[in-house]
Amino acid sequence: MSPFVCELIDAKLKDVEKSNTNSAIKRIATSSLSCLGYNSWAFACENPDSIIGTSHLSTGIPFQWFAMYLAKRYQNIDPIVTHCRRFEEPILWDAVNGWDAADDNVRDFMRNIHAIGFGSGMAIPLRSPSGAKGMLSLVNAKPLADLRESYLENMESARAIGMAVYSAVERIRLK
């Protein structure tokens, strides 16, 4: 990544620290992640005050996907979310390859991710200072084979953006 992009992201992260609304956080996160080449993303974290137990922000992910996700109760079987709850290291995934041994409901989940136009992603587990769990998930239409290097190259910058978003969302929630 070029020094200019690093400086740009650093400046944007300072703006996140000053943000007082979720819409401002989302706008800055969208701009920051776009600098890395990612236009579709979702951030989620535990929120005991929410009806569904989480807070989330996203860009580039169809509302229909979220509606299906909740209707089919995918939050209970999503292998990407499960990984981020259990482990600290990011996961790179492909919507088509690598799921042959998974349960039928997980294969159905991955088929539906692919059907809405996502071919791969990188999900980064996030932990707040209080220990609460969250994640930043970047998704793309291309398969993992085409994007693996990009995901790996941008992993730490994406994690920094995710942590800045998490800190700001938590700060606002606790006000």
Residue-range domain boundaries for the chain: 3-174
Q: Which residues of the chain have pLDDT under 50?
A: 3-4
3-class secondary-structure state, position 20: coil
According to the model, what pLDDT value does residue 4 have?
47
Q: Which CATH architecture has domain 3-174?
A: 2-Layer Sandwich (3.30)
According to the model, what pLDDT value does residue 29 have?
87
108, 131 in Cβ contact below 8 A?
Answer: no
Indicate whether this model's pTM tops 0.85. yes
d(CA 121, CA 144): 7
3-class secondary-structure state, position 150: helix
Angle CA(73)–CA(69)–CA(28) in degrees, nearest 5? 135
